[in-house]
Amino acid sequence: MRAGELRQRIAIQQNTPTRDSTNAEMAHWSTIVTLWARIDTLTGTEEILQQQAAAVRTHKLTIRRYASLTTVMRVVWKNSVFDILTIIDDNTNRQMTLMCREVQRG
């Protein structure tokens, strides 16, 4: 993979839950690393989620290998948040492909 192909700056975030004043657990996402990536949009559909229309897109992100990446993390790029569905390691241990899902509620 050539460096020029990785043009988008993404943040990998991990959920580190916190507690509010009533001691209820709240999600708190912290950025653990910022990487360069190539983002390709694959599909786009509309779904009804929680009785609301939502645009759902799937993306393929290509990054340099980052060993501690897991599917419980998420990717943030500009104003978009991607849930990581699958992580595919190439056979040379140089790059990874992330299959991601983005949900935009409307």
What is the band of 19 on the pLDDT scale with cuts at 50, 70, 90?
Answer: confident
Phi, psi of 3 (to 5 degrees): -60, -35
pLDDT, tens digit, 9 for 90 and up, residues 29-49: 999 999 999 999 999 888 777
pLDDT of residue 48: 76
What is the band of 4 on the pLDDT scale with cuts at 50, 70, 90?
Answer: confident
**Long-range CB contacts (< 8 A, 24+ apart) of 27-35?**
29/74, 29/76, 31/76, 32/73, 33/66, 34/9, 34/10, 35/9, 35/10, 35/63, 35/64, 35/66
pLDDT, tens digit, 9 for 90 and up, residues 85-105: 999 998 888 999 999 999 886
Q: Domain residues of the chain, as ranges?
A: 3-105
Residue 23 has pLDDT above 90, yes or no: no
CATH architecture of the domain with range 3-105: Beta Barrel (2.40)
Residue 64 has pLDDT above 70, yes or no: yes
Percentage of the chain beyond pLDDT 90 is: 64
